[in-house]
Amino acid sequence: MNQTTPQEAGSVRFAEIIDRALIRISQAVAWIFFILMLVILAQVTLRRGFSAGLIILEELQWHLYAIGVFMGVIYAQARDTHVRVDVLRERYSQTARHVIEILGLTFLLMPFLWVVFYHGIAFTYEAWRINERSLAPAGLPWRWLIKGLIPLTMGLLMIAVLNRIAKESVLLVRHIKGGV
């Protein structure tokens, strides 16, 4: 019996819409890696070719890399391509996989994301309040801007994780009912 209730179908469709939005946001930011490569090339050329690297380019590399990694994690979660111990996972039944996914996301990942999000807000606010900048005289200003990425991306990642929990819950119920 492969009957899907309207609530289940609606839940899955809504979850897929959220996933697509998060994937699009991540893909839109992915061009940052091209800019990162150009900055690295410029820095290497200046250092090796002219013995004159720039602190601002060094710091820009860190910031661009941070943006790319944070958005890449959101993309991986939304696409469900994040790292797992597949050797162990393949040995479990479909029901066990859904239960482990739900429990792991709920009790391991979400509390961690909440702590990082919560403290990231205070961290960002303090950097903004004092108008934090690089300690290097020729470094980047507005350090609060890159620190603001922490609560922003953790918030997006929490949305992706809640979305995955909802999808896994629907799939678990379907599987228990004898569906998919």
* Helix pair angle (94-104, 149-177), 10° resolution: 150
Structure-token pair, residue 161: 């994780």
Span 114-158, pLDDT tens digits = 999 999 999 999 999 999 999 988 889 989 999 999 999 999 999
Decide if 70 contacts 153 (C-beta within 8 A): yes
- Tell me the C-alpha distance between 90 and 96, whole Å: 10
Looking up tokens 């941070």 gives 66
pTM over 0.85: yes
Terminal-to-terminal C-alpha distance of the chain: 9
Span 19-67, pLDDT tens digits = 999 999 999 999 999 999 999 999 999 999 999 989 999 999 999 999 9
